[in-house]
Amino acid sequence: MIVLILIAGWIAFGTVAWFVVMDWMRLALILVTGLVLAFLVELIAVHRLRRWEYGDRMPRIPGLRVGWIPILQMLVLPSLIFWTAGRILIHVAG
C-alpha cells in the first residue's frame, strides 16, 4: 500500500521524491489514499473474501462495517513513513 501511495504522489506531483518537501497537499494525498486503500482492503478481505474477521473487541466504524484500528493504522503509519523517508533523503543529499 505504501508503494501505491508513492505512485499516486508521483503521478500527482510529477516527481518520485514528492514527499521530501511535505505540505498540506502532500499530507492530504497520503491521508486520503491511505484511507481509501485501507477501507477497500478491509471491506473486501473481511466481508467479501472472508480472509479474516473482527473479534468482539474490535471497534467498528458505524455503518461502514470496518474496524477503526486498521483504518487509523493506514492514516498514521504512511504519514510517518513518508515524513521519515523525506528527512533521510534531505540528510543524505546534504
- The reported pLDDT for the residue numbered 65 is 86
Mean pLDDT, the chain, whole residue set = 95
Contacts of 54 (CB under 8 A, 6+ apart): 46, 60, 67
Nearest-angstrom CA–CA distance, 65 and 70: 12
Q: Are 89 and 17 in contact (CB under 8 A)?
A: yes
User: Over the stretch 10-34, which tens digit does the pLDDT of each residue have?
Assistant: 999 999 999 999 999 999 999 999 9
- The reported pLDDT for the residue numbered 74 is 96
Question: What single DSSP character describes residue 70?
Answer: H
- The reported pLDDT for the residue numbered 7 is 98
Whether the full predicted model's pTM is greater than 0.85, yes or no, is yes
